[in-house]
C-alpha cells in the first residue's frame, strides 16, 4: 500500500507541473550579430559580363583602403580563378569603391607552378605588405600557400621561398594574425591530406617566411574533400575571448562563429553567433567601429555591415586595432 500511495503522490505532483515549469533546453548564447549589409564594390563595372568576388581581404595603407579578392566572370568556375581583384577607397564605407588593375595574375610557369589564385590575406610588417594566398596544385593533397610582397600595395613580387605551406585536401584560405611574439596562420584543410573531417589548421612563424608547428585547432563532424564548412577561417581576439569565423554553414551565405579562451582550440558546442555572410572578413574603421563583409558567386560584389558585439569586451585588447590614417 505504501508503494501505491507514493506512486499516486508522484503522479499528482507531476500532473501539477505547468508547461512553464518544465525543464527548458539551454538557449544558444549569442554574442554578436550583423547589421544591414550595403554594397560597396561591384566587380562588373566596366566589364561586358557579370563578374563575382569571392574570398577577399581589406587593409588600410599608402593613404587608401584596399580590397583584394578572388574574381572571375559568372558563373562560378573556381579552377579558372587566375587573377586577384583590387579596389581602393578613401573611406571604408565609401559607395562605390574604385576599381583598380588586377593585383596579381597566376604564374603557371616554373618555379611557381600555380594552378589558380585563391583567398588572399594581406598583413603589414616593418614597412612592407605580405600577401598570403592559395596557389593550388594538380595534387589536391599537396595544395600550396604562396607569398607575394609589396612596398606600395600595387606592385607584388613572389617570394623565392614559395611554397611556404603545403597541405591537403586543398589546404587553403590563409588568415594571418599576430599573437604575442609570433605570427599565426589559420587555414582550412582536412584531417588527412586525402580527405576526412573538415578542419581548421594553424601554423606558426617568427618572420612570416618560415612556418611550422602545425596543429588542428577545430575539427568539424562533417567529412569530405572539396569545399566544406571550415572555409574562410578568420580569428578575432577580444580580451580573453577568441572568436573563430568559418563557413559556409549551413547554407552558402552563412558563417558560424565559435568562442574559446584558447586560440588553438575551438569546439562545435561553443557556437555564439551566425551571420548571413559568405567568406566573412572582419574590419575596423578609423573610429574603432567594427564591420563584417560578405561576397560570393552570384552575389554581385562585396557588401559591408556593422558588426555588433554583445560580449562586454569593447574596451579589451584585440588583434584588430583600429588603423591610423
Alpha-carbon separation of residue 196 from 5, 79, 186 (angstroms): 57, 22, 18
For the chain, give every domain's residue range. 35-309
| pLDDT at residue number 27 | 54
Tell me which residue has cell 611574439: 181
Written as tens digits, the pLDDT of the chain (325 aa) is: 333 333 333 333 333 333 444 444 445 689 999 999 999 999 999 999 999 999 999 999 999 999 999 999 999 999 999 999 999 999 999 999 999 999 999 999 999 999 999 999 999 999 999 999 999 999 999 999 999 999 999 999 999 999 999 999 999 999 999 999 999 999 999 999 999 999 999 999 999 999 999 999 999 999 999 999 999 999 999 999 999 999 999 999 999 999 999 999 999 999 999 999 999 999 999 999 999 999 999 999 999 999 999 999 999 999 999 999 8
- Whether omega for the bond prior to residue 64 falls within 30 degrees of 0, making it cis, is no
Fold of 35-309: Tachylectin-2; Chain A (2.115.10)
Question: What pTM was computed for the model?
Answer: 0.91
pLDDT tens per residue across span 190-245: 999 999 999 999 999 999 999 999 999 999 999 999 999 999 999 999 999 999 99
Amino acid at each position: 500500500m505504501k508503494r501505491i500511495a507514493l506512486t499516486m503522490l508522484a503522479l499528482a505532483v507531476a500532473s501539477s507541473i505547468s508547461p512553464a515549469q518544465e525543464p527548458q533546453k539551454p538557449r544558444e548564447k549569442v554574442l554578436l550579430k550583423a547589421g544591414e549589409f550595403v554594397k560597396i564594390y561591384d566587380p562588373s563595372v566596366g566589364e561586358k559580363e557579370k563578374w563575382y568576388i569571392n574570398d577577399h581581404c581589406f587593409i588600410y595603407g599608402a593613404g587608401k583602403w584596399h580590397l583584394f579578392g578572388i574574381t572571375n566572370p559568372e558563373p562560378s568556375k573556381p579552377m579558372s580563378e587566375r587573377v586577384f581583384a583590387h579596389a581602393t577607397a578613401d573611406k571604408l564605407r565609401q559607395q562605390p569603391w574604385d576599381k583598380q588593375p588586377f593585383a596579381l595574375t597566376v604564374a603557371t610557369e616554373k618555379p611557381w607552378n600555380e594552378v589558380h589564385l585563391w583567398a588572399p590575406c594581406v598583413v603589414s610588417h616593418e614597412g612592407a605588405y605580405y600577401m598570403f594566398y592559395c596557389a593550388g596544385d594538380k595534387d589536391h593533397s599537396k595544395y600550396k600557400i604562396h607569398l607575394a610582397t609589396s612596398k606600395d600595395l600595387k606592385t607584388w613580387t613572389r617570394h623565392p621561398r614559395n611554397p611556404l605551406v603545403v597541405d591537403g585536401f586543398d589546404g587553403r584560405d590563409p588568415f594571418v594574425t599576430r599573437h604575442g611574439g609570433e605570427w599565426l596562420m589559420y587555414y582550412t584543410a582536412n584531417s588527412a591530406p586525402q580527405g576526412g573531417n573538415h578542419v581548421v589548421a594553424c601554423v606558426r612563424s617568427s618572420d612570416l617566411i618560415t612556418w611550422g608547428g602545425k596543429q588542428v585547432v577545430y575539427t568539424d563532424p562533417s567529412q569530405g574533400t572539396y569545399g566544406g564548412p571550415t572555409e574562410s577561417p578568420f580569428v578575432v581576439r577580444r580580451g580573453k575571448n577568441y572568436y573563430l569565423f568559418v563557413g559556409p554553414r549551413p547554407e552558402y551565405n552563412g558563417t558560424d562563429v565559435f568562442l574559446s579562451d584558447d586560440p588553438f582550440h575551438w569546439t562545435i558546442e561553443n557556437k555564439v553567433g551566425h551571420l548571413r555572410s559568405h567568406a566573412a572578413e572582419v574590419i575596423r574603421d578609423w573610429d574603432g567601429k567594427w564591420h563584417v563583409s560578405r561576397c560570393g558567386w552570384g552575389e554581385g560584389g562585396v557588401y559591408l555591415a556593422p558588426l555588433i558585439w554583445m560580449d562586454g569586451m569593447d574596451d579589451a585588447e584585440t588583434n584588430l586595432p583600429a588603423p591610423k590614417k
